[in-house]
């Protein structure tokens, strides 16, 4: 019988967190989708793995047996994928937005000229996965915006900070202001990431900088085009300053905001993996270039 490794990752997260809610946030998936995948794994194995209750998800005896073996299975698989990448001379780098990666394209071009035998793939992920592919083992490293759920399980090197501003509909009363006070936006409908993104969603809603004022969510999106479209339709959204250079919409304007903390950009990679000297070389070059911003 073949079992999808993603199902095993989902099982391991639920076993570790003890709840579907916590595991869904860690994996950046919706709770209904996670529930469906856990049931699929139980159907594939022909045994119940959890006892479900209002207090959470308790492992059955069969579940405990599987939980004891899954970490070694996944570590072995991850090592195999990493070894395959080394053999193919492939490095995979995840990112979320053009503003965060900045000069990374230039660094990669220089790296390719110096090491033509290696291939570097830049993979962009949408905002439903703020780890830019790391949480699911899809990349070797990633340029990320902090904070996001699960980052404590990764090696994260902070590179630079970038001021946050606000995207407004061009017809908005504040659109002609040179700078906007954040408290002027508290009652506006905000564009938000999915609830499963946890700390990422809260940061881009500035939930902790509202002095207890509740957030009003007007739209939930995970991609730049949806994000800009929601603002054009009447919502507002906090955004990094680089948004004004890399993303545009005829009915949307960007304005600086006073009263919110900046965005922090970092370089992240998994903990405990076999170190690859060539990847280290590339990441160090990226860190040096981005840190000079």
Who's near 164: CB < 8 A, 6+ residues apart? 206, 238, 239, 240, 241, 257, 260, 261, 262, 263
pLDDT confidence bin for 292, thresholds 50/70/90: confident
- Please say whether the beta carbons of 104 and 95 come within 8 A: yes
Q: Quote the DSSP letter at residue 18.
A: S
> Exposed, middle or buried by CB within 10 Å (0-12, 13-18, 19+), for 76?
exposed
- Please say whether the beta carbons of 293 and 161 come within 8 A: no
pLDDT confidence bin for 135, thresholds 50/70/90: confident
User: What whole-number distance in Å separates Cα of residue 200 and Cα of residue 147?
Assistant: 6
Which of 18-32, 117-131, 148-162, 204-218 has the weakest average pLDDT? 18-32
User: What whole-number distance in Å separates Cα of residue 98 and Cα of residue 163?
Assistant: 15
Q: Which domains does the chain have, with CATH numbers?
A: 5-83 (1.10.10.10), 89-161+264-291 (3.40.190.10), 164-261 (3.40.190.10)
pLDDT of residue 1: 57
- Please say whether the beta carbons of 218 and 190 come within 8 A: yes
- Please say whether the beta carbons of 28 and 66 come within 8 A: no
> Exposed, middle or buried by CB within 10 Å (0-12, 13-18, 19+), for 137?
middle
pLDDT tens readout for residues 26-61: 777 778 888 888 999 988 888 999 998 887 888 999
pLDDT confidence bin for 227, thresholds 50/70/90: very high
pLDDT confidence bin for 213, thresholds 50/70/90: very high
pLDDT tens readout for residues 153-193: 899 999 999 999 999 999 999 999 999 999 999 999 999 99
pLDDT of residue 73: 85
pLDDT tens readout for residues 58-106: 899 988 999 888 888 877 777 766 666 565 578 999 999 888 888 898 8
Give the pTM.
0.73
């Amino acid at each position: 019988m073949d079992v999808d490794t993603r199902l095993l990752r989902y099982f391991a997260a639920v076993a570790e967190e003890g709840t579907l809610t916590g595991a869904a946030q860690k994996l950046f998936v919706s709770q209904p989708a996670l529930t469906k995948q856990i049931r699929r794994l139980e159907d594939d194995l022909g045994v119940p793995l959890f006892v479900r209750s209002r207090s959470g998800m308790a492992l059955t005896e069969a579940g405990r047996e599987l939980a004891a073996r899954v970490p070694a299975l996944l570590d072995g698989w991850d090592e195999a994928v990493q070894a395959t990448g080394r053999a193919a001379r492939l490095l995979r780098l995840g990112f979320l937005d053009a503003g965060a990666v900045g000069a990374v394209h230039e660094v990669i071009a220089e790296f390719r000229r110096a090491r033509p035998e290696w291939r570097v793939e830049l993979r962009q992920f949408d905002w439903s996965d703020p780890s830019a592919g790391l949480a699911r083992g899809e990349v070797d490293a990633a340029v990320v915006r902090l904070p996001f759920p699960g980052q404590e399980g990764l090696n994260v090197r902070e590179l630079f900070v970038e001021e946050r501003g606000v995207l407004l509909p061009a017809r908005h009363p504040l659109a002609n202001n040179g700078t906007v006070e954040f408290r002027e936006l508290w009652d506006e409908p905000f564009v938000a990431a999915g609830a499963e993104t946890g700390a990422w969603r809260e940061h881009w809603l500035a939930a902790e900088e509202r002095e207890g004022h509740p957030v009003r969510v007007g739209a939930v999106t995970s991609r730049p085009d949806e994000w800009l479209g929601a603002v054009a339709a009447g919502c507002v959204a906090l955004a990094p300053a680089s948004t004004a250079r890399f993303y545009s919409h005829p009915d949307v304007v960007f304005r600086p905001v006073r009263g919110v903390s900046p965005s922090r950009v970092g370089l992240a990679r998994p903990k405990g993996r076999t170190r690859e000297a060539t990847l280290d070389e590339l990441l160090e070059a990226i860190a040096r270039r981005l840190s000079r911003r």
